[in-house]
Amino acid sequence: MSFATAISITDQIHRRALEISVRFKRAEGELLEILEQVDRHRVYLQHGHSSLFLYVVHELRLSEGVAYNLITVSRKVQTTTLVGYSS
């Protein structure tokens, strides 16, 4: 493999990583928004869970760590917005 081909392949890999990162950020933002609604309307109760955390882990099948982080951020955004600190 030539040096130019190696650079071309690494550039393609890099571009692909950037594209996936953009999609991930968009999906993460959408997930935070919907979790705020799930929390506010207590949707998790209708699905047999006593908490949003259990709903995220069992229904959405996300890891406990990811569930904890998403819920923490979602609730922090809610609190910040309610207090009037959001722009």
Q: What is the pLDDT of residues 49-60, one digit of tens each?
A: 999 999 999 999
Q: What is the pLDDT of residues 17-36, one digit of tens each?
A: 999 999 999 999 999 999 99
Domain boundaries, the chain: 3-83
Q: Using CA of residue 64, residue 53, residue 44, residue 87, what is the dihedral sign?
A: negative
User: From CA 80, how far away is CA 87, in angstroms rounded?
Assistant: 10
The mean per-residue pLDDT over the stretch 5-27 comes to: 93
For residue 37, pLDDT over 90 is answered with yes
- Identify the band that residue 77 occupies on the pLDDT scale cut at 50, 70 and 90: confident
